[in-house]
Chain A
Amino acid sequence: MIVGEKITEKWSMDQAAQYAKDHVIDSDKLAEKNIFDFEFLTTLTEKASAFGLPIDFAISKHVFLLFFVSFITVGTIVTLVQSYISHKKNIPNKFMSMIEMMVVYLREDVLKTTIGDKEHRDWAPLIYTIFFFVLFSNILGLIPIFDLSGLIGSLGYKFEIFKEKYNFLYVLSKGGNTVTANINVTFALATISFFAFIGAGIKKYGFMQHWKNLAPSGLPWPLYFVVVPIEFMGLFIRPLALTLRLAGNMMGGHIALVIFITFIFSANAELGAFAGFAIAPFSVALALGLTMLELLVAVIQAYVFALLTAVFIGMAIHVDH
């Protein structure tokens, strides 16, 4: 993102925050927002607003990257598993063994211990899908695929297509982002798991009994005035915590990375060119170390999201504890 833009001479400390913001939040400018100018999406948005639904159907950079990540996730997993199944010798290759390792670990350590031996097969597809989608989007957010196209553009391969502002490639060359750093995406994921753990309880105990299970039975009756509101609030706090945890972790890491890089420009502007050169190795080393940490966080957060969904489903199924 910073590489793709020409750094002007007047650099101030406020710009650092703006760069960090631009990196993680989708643009508000309408021209940058609508990178694919489809006619029917605009009419769909107008129709929705006529109904009183303020939904924007425009495909912005973040939405495009969401499609991109979903496509890569499904493509990778399906081709690997299909080629493994159809192959006669049944020897998993490198990536297939990695995926197999994760699946077996999730089954043994997460699904069987939290959901239980009997029911875990019903909920396994959901947990695996959540895990692999979050994992792929976290890791693809760390690989600067689209930032590299911006680097090529600024290094002198002046393609005509990069000069034209607000075209599809121009917006993408300003840098990609982590899909899961956007709070809307993680909220959608958390909503899916919210309905999953309500559905798990209803499937096991029936509709009325599930809601009765929320509060433990056998308490003295005045206590129910306290317990029921608390349990009801807890029901909605769970998906909220899931949302904020994933988005906060991803967003925080990327903001810190951008800020570390902008130290160079700040030192350059405030203290002169020599200070900029002197601080660059430290800044890049810090950013490198933080990227390593982010790689770890990317895997852990995917695991955590899958684990917590499994734990909540398990709580709905095994009420007694």
Chain B
Amino acid sequence: MGAGLAVIGAGIGIGLIGYGVAQAIARQPEAAGEIRSQTFLLAILVEGAAILLGLLSLVLG
């Protein structure tokens, strides 16, 4: 249950990041490298929260 909720949140977050990145690269292909490294950072932060919750649900459940 908890793991499922964590995955929903992270899925929405990473999906939004992916949407933004695809649009940004399509608009400015020459800035792809810089955009990609920023993406990594954001995706990591979103994923970190999801993993924290997943582990919590594993420990408490």
Contact = CB atoms under 8 A, between A and B. Distances in A.
Interface of A: 109, 113, 241, 244-245, 248-249, 252, 303-304, 307-308, 311
Nearest to A300: B40
B51 interface: yes
A311 B47 CA distance: 17
A257 to B, nearest CB: 16
Interface of B: 33, 37, 40-41, 44, 47-48, 51-52, 54-55
A248 B55 contact: yes
Per DSSP, are chain B's interface residues mostly helix, strand or loop, or mixed?
Answer: helix
Contacts of A307: 40-41, 44
Contacts of B51: 244-245, 248-249, 252
Given A248-B54, A249-B51, A311-B41, 20 more contacts: A109-B37, A113-B37, A241-B48, A244-B48, A244-B51, A244-B52, A244-B55, A245-B44, A245-B48, A245-B51, A248-B51, A248-B52, A252-B51, A252-B54, A303-B40, A304-B40, A304-B44, A307-B40, A307-B44, A308-B44
A244 B41 CA distance: 16
Nearest to A113: B37
A120 B51 CA distance: 30
B33 to A, nearest CB: 8
A307 B40 CA distance: 9
A249 B50 CA distance: 11
B4 to A, nearest CB: 14
Contacts of A304: 40, 44
9 A-B pairs with least C-beta separation: A248-B51, A241-B48, A245-B48, A248-B55, A304-B44, A244-B52, A245-B51, A109-B37, A244-B55
A127 to B, nearest CB: 15
Contacts of A252: 51, 54
A245 B47 contact: yes
B1 to A, nearest CB: 17
